[in-house]
Amino acid sequence: MKRNIYSLLIIAFLSYWLTACSDKDRSQEASLDIDKESVDFGSDSGSQRITVTTNIDNWTAKADKSWCHPSAEGKALRIDVDESEERYVRQATVTLTASGQIRKLTVRQLGYEASILVDKSAFKIGVAGGEIRFAVTSNVNVAISLPEWITSKAAPRSPATVTTTYSYMVEATKRNRYSKAWNAIIVAGSPHSDFRDIENHADDVFCKLVPFWQLELYFGKALGRTPLKQADRGGFYPSVYEYARNKNYSGMSNGDIQLDFVYACSKISGMNLLDFFSKWGFLTPVNKEVDDYGIKQMTVTPSMIEALKQRVNALGLPTPDVALEYISDNTSELYRTKAEIIRGGNATHSPRTFTVGSGKNTVTYHGETITIPDWKNVVTYEVKDGTGKFILISSGENAPSPTDTFTIPTGWKNGFKLYAVSATGKRVEVPVN
């Protein structure tokens, strides 16, 4: 009898212990969360701490890049980064692990090229309104534009601060610099040295720089002909610089030098770049004084252009198999892969009146906003009238947004057509409702 009672007590104790352990196990189910999806750094070495919420004492953090050094410090994740000597923004992924739970954090760091990093791209706000916050990390001056229904709560930015937290939404007031340049020079058919953009500003120097940077994006970034990728530290532009260093420019006019640059780029690239430079206005006649770091005369005549064409064509070089004039920082990878366009939905258009510029440069347009859903691998969109004349060129690949929107400076008319352009220059007409 005593043995039976003892056995029952043992069974009861074991049942209680197993139940307690089971409850304890359930209460100790691993949890792991972090309060950010990404962190951004300037190009200098630096450190940041991110709050980690977990009930596991021994959690780990590892990075997939050697310049990024994560470490666990209690309930915080510390991220240290080395100084960046790279040109472009670089990115690492930090993986946090705790008893089978995994979280990932993106770490981005500026290079020495001008860049802007924003840690959030969209917000969801209830009908009652609320505060939104995002951080901007940049090595250039940042200007924020707000719609009237959003008010600013941002503190003034210190010149020594690379990351600033803003308490409002960013809304772009115009397309990027590429779009401004395409429309001011290519659409207008203007000389590279003498043009006005859609905001009626004359000779925007950053628009002038676009074709020069495009050559680096294509030959350097897409094709790898850059000191950043070549073992001998050579590349397209180093060879152009060497050509210029050894060239005797005495007796040559500014127009002669501009056209000789076209010849040099063609010869060094191994490609006939006449079409590229023609679209960018280098081969458009001009005769005027240009105020650019001093007033100089720029003269390019039809006879000078014809002589250059004969000189370049005599090299017997192939033409590029891409729409080189449309490459941008957002699309350079498409020029490497030459991905085909993936069709999306029909575009729509709606009236919009907008005013740009200020003072005597104020211009009002009665235009149309074009919305294009779910098209992919598009480097630019072209709007043309019934005769094939350009109305507007706009940026294409704007990931992560699945919808592209831009505004043309005129009403949508019968005969207008919208085209999606691939990196190879293939055009696909986009139906417009």
For 182-230, the pLDDT digits (tens) are 999 999 999 998 887 665 566 678 888 999 999 999 999 999 999 988 8
Instruction: Count CA atoms within 13 Å of residue 46 on its CB side.
Output: 17
pLDDT tens digits, one per residue of 353-404: 888 766 777 788 889 999 999 999 999 999 999 999 999 999 887 655 688 8
Query: Between 254-269 and 236-246, two packed helices, what is the crossing angle to 10 degrees?
Result: 140
Where is mean pLDDT largest: 2-16, 363-377, 399-413, 416-430?
416-430
Q: At 127, is the pLDDT very low, low, confident or very high (cuts 50, 70, 90)?
A: very low
For 326, the token pair is: 């449309």
Distance (Å, rounded) from C-alpha 103 to C-alpha 81? 19
> For residues 132 and 151, is the Cβ–Cβ distance under 8 A?
no
pLDDT for residue 28 is more than 90: no
> Higher-confidence residue: 346 or 87?
346
pLDDT for residue 21 is more than 50: no
For 264, the token pair is: 């040099």
- pLDDT on residue 119: 79
Q: At 149, is the pLDDT very low, low, confident or very high (cuts 50, 70, 90)?
A: low
pLDDT for residue 155 is more than 60: no
pLDDT for residue 41 is more than 60: yes
pLDDT for residue 156 is more than 60: no
Q: At 166, is the pLDDT very low, low, confident or very high (cuts 50, 70, 90)?
A: low
Lowest mean pLDDT among 15-29, 237-251, 254-268, 296-310: 15-29
Distance (Å, rounded) from C-alpha 48 to C-alpha 76? 10
Q: Which of 273, 291, 290 is nearest to 282 (CA)?
A: 273
